[in-house]
Chain A
Amino acid sequence: AQKVTQAQTEISVVEKEDVTLDCVYETRDTTYYLFWYKQPPSGELVFLIRRNSFDEQNEISGRYSWNFQKSTSSFNFTITASQVVDSAVYFCALKRGLGGGNNRKLIWGLGTSLAVNP
């Protein structure tokens, strides 16, 4: 079975702190895709990153970085020098790489609510 676990329900930090959001996934597939989305208070989910299972290279985009480790089935997200505008709910999701039908749908974690306080 496919599953995504975001163990941190809520995180609160002070501006300029670094924060890491954890994502652990379960799948028996060798080909799969991982995603991170951000949902600010406005409600619209914003795509942040996609990673395929064959690419374990970490990625950095400005203050955002992602650490993909297949050995621990984790795809963690770090925000460096957090800002108030980073306050949002962050979702990790998994999509299977093969098969049709319901194998194509995204499997979502329950999200981590991040509050960055001034």
Chain B
Amino acid sequence: KAGVTQTPRYLIKTRGQQVTLSCSPISGHRSVSWYQQTPGQGLQFLFEYFSETQRNKGNFPGRFSGRQFSNSRSEMNVSTLELGDSALYLCASSLGDRRANEQFFGPGTRLTVL
């Protein structure tokens, strides 16, 4: 079974630009969560999508948005990039139907904002 895939793996952008990251979950998984990881803040939860609906949301500004498609693939968009948005963005998928479901992570997209 293929794992979680994320594209692109690396991205360099400049301040003010916008970026879209993509995540394909494990086949059969309906939940996709996004995290931002930085050395100082650790893993910060962005949002979770389940069956095309946002089910959970973290404490990030509205510049961070996401969506999920009918095939469970998810995209995350960050508009008006700031230097502080430089981070590793991780996507995790799970079955999502039970609270105990563990999450399986992709390799991440490393975003650098110059």
A and B are interacting partners: yes
Contact segment of B12-20, B54-62, B63-71, B74-82: B54-62
Min distance, Cβ A72 to any Cβ of chain B, angstroms: 23
- B90 at interface, CB cutoff 8 A: yes
Give chain A residues whose Cβ lies under 8 Å from the Cβ of B21: none
Known: A43-B88, A45-B105. A102 touches B99 (CB 8 A): no
Please tell me if the beta carbons of A95 and B56 are within 8 angstroms of each other in the complex: no
Q: Whole-angstrom distance between the alpha carbons of A97 and B99 in the complex?
A: 6
Please indicate the chain B residues that have their CB under 8 angstroms from the CB of A33 in the complex.
99-100
Of the candidates B43, B88, B90, the one having the most CB atoms from chain A within 10 angstroms of its own CB is B43
B side interface size, CB within 8 A:
22
Interface string of B87-114 (1 = CB under 8 A from A): 0101010000001101111111010000
Q: Bound state CA distance, A35 and B108, in angstroms?
A: 20
Question: Which of chain B's residues has its CB closest to A6's CB?
Answer: B42
Residues of A within 8 A of B110 (CB): 43
State in angstroms the CA–CA spacing of A52 and B98 once bound together: 12
Complex contact A44–B102 (CB within 8 A): no
Could you say which of A44, A91, A97, A106 contacts B108, with CB atoms under 8 Å apart? A44
Indicate if the CB atoms of A106 and B103 lie closer than 8 Å: yes
Residues on A with beta carbons closer than 8 Å to the beta carbon of B100? 33, 50, 52, 95
Q: Which residues of the partner chain B approach A35 to less than 8 Å between Cβ atoms?
A: 102
When chains A and B are docked, how far (Å) is the Cα of A50 from the Cα of B102? Answer: 7
CA distance A30 to B79 in the complex (A): 40
Q: A97-B99, A109-B42 are in contact. List 19 more A-B contacts (CB 8 A).
A: A33-B99, A35-B102, A42-B107, A44-B106, A45-B90, A45-B105, A46-B105, A47-B105, A50-B102, A100-B55, A101-B55, A105-B33, A105-B45, A105-B48, A106-B33, A108-B42, A108-B43, A110-B42, A111-B42
9 A-B residue pairs with Cβ-Cβ distance under 8 Å, sorted by A, are: A44-B107, A45-B105, A47-B105, A95-B100, A96-B99, A100-B55, A101-B55, A104-B99, A111-B42
